[in-house]
Amino acid sequence: MAEYKAPLRDMRFVLNEVFDAPSLWARLPALSERVDPETAEAILEEAGKVAAKVLDPLNRTGDEEGCHWEDGVVTTPKGFREAYQTFMEGGWCGIGGNPEYGGMGMPKMIGAQIEEMIQSANISFGLYPMLTAGAALALDSHGSEELKQKYLPNMYTGVWAGSMCLTEPHSGTDLGIIRTKAVPNADGSYDITGTKIFITGGEHDLTENIIHLVLAKLPDAPAGSKGISLFLVPKVLVNDDGSLGETNNVTCGSIEHKMGIKASATCVMNFDGAKGWMVGEPNRGLAAMFTMMNYERLGVGVQGLAAAERSFQNAIEYARERLQSRAPTGPACPDKVADPILVHPDVRRMLLTMKANNEAARAFSSYVAMHLDISKYSDDDEERKRSEALVALLTPVCKAYLTDRGLEACVFGQQVFGGHGYIREWGQEQLVRDVRIAQIYEGTNGIQALDLMGRKVAANGGKFYQLYEQEIQSFIQAQEGNAALQPYLAELKSAVADLTRATRTVLERAAQNPNEIGAASCDYLDLFGVVSYAYMWARMVAVAAEKEAGDSSGFYTAKLKTARFFYDRLLPRRASLLAAIESGSDSTMAMEDEQFSLQY
3-state secondary structure string, 324-381?
Answer: CCCCCCCCCCCCCCCCEHHHCHHHHHHHHHHHHHHHHHHHHHHHHHHHHHHHHHCCCH
Q: What does the pLDDT read at residue 190?
A: 98
Res. 189 pLDDT band, cuts 50 70 90:
very high
Question: What are the C-alpha distances in Å from 339 to residues 259, 325, 333, 352?
Answer: 36, 6, 6, 19
- Proportion of the chain above pLDDT 90, given as a percent: 92
In a domain, 448, yes or no: no
Q: What does the pLDDT read at residue 92?
A: 97
Residues involved in catalysis: 442
* Closest C-alpha to 383, from 394, 392, 374, 391: 374
Confirm if 123 and 306 have CB atoms less than 8 A apart.
yes
Residue 20 reports pLDDT greater than 90: yes
Domain count, the chain: 1
Q: Which of 2-16, 79-93, 287-301, 365-379 has the lowest mean pLDDT?
A: 287-301
Res. 305 pLDDT band, cuts 50 70 90:
very high
**Which position has the higher pLDDT, 542 or 176?**
542
Residue 295 reports pLDDT greater than 70: yes
Tell me the per-residue pLDDT of 112-121, one tens digit each, with 9 for 90 and over. 999 999 999 9
Average pLDDT score over the chain: 95
Collect all residues with Cβ–Cβ distance below 8 Å to 576 and sequence separation of at least 6: none
Tell me the per-residue pLDDT of 423-481, one tens digit each, with 9 for 90 and over. 999 999 999 999 999 999 988 999 999 999 999 999 999 999 999 999 999 999 999 99
Domain range for 566:
459-584
CA distance 266 to 256: 6
CA distance 305 to 435: 10
Q: What does the pLDDT read at residue 599?
A: 83
CA distance 49 to 4: 10
Q: What does the pLDDT read at residue 383?
A: 97
In a domain, 565, yes or no: yes
Tell me the per-residue pLDDT of 210-222, one tens digit each, with 9 for 90 and over. 999 999 999 999 8
What would the mean pLDDT of 508-531 be, rounded to a whole number? 97
CA distance 513 to 395: 26
In a domain, 489, yes or no: yes
Question: pTM score > 0.75 for this model?
Answer: yes
Residue 296 reports pLDDT greater than 90: no
In a domain, 94, yes or no: no
In a domain, 534, yes or no: yes
The 8 Å CB, 24+ separation contacts for 560-566 are 562/352, 562/355, 562/356, 562/359, 563/356, 563/488, 563/537, 563/538, 564/487, 565/352, 565/356, 566/356, 566/357, 566/360, 566/533, 566/534, 566/537
Kindly calculate the radius of gyration of the chain based on its CA atoms and give it in whole angstroms.
24
In a domain, 547, yes or no: yes
Q: What does the pLDDT read at residue 174?
A: 67
* Closest C-alpha to 139, from 196, 101, 89, 191: 101
In a domain, 398, yes or no: no
Collect all residues with Cβ–Cβ distance below 8 Å to 470 and sequence separation of at least 6: none
Res. 293 pLDDT band, cuts 50 70 90:
confident
Tell me the per-residue pLDDT of 336-367, one tens digit each, with 9 for 90 and over. 999 999 999 999 999 999 999 999 999 999 99
Residue 172 reports pLDDT greater than 80: no
Q: What does the pLDDT read at residue 499?
A: 98
Q: What does the pLDDT read at residue 84?
A: 98
Give kind and range of the element (H or E) at residue 68: strand 68-70
CA distance 351 to 330: 21
C-alpha neighbours within 13 Å on the C-beta side of residue 471: 16
Q: What does the pLDDT read at residue 226?
A: 87
Residue 535 reports pLDDT greater than 70: yes
Q: What does the pLDDT read at residue 286?
A: 83
In a domain, 569, yes or no: yes
Res. 224 pLDDT band, cuts 50 70 90:
confident
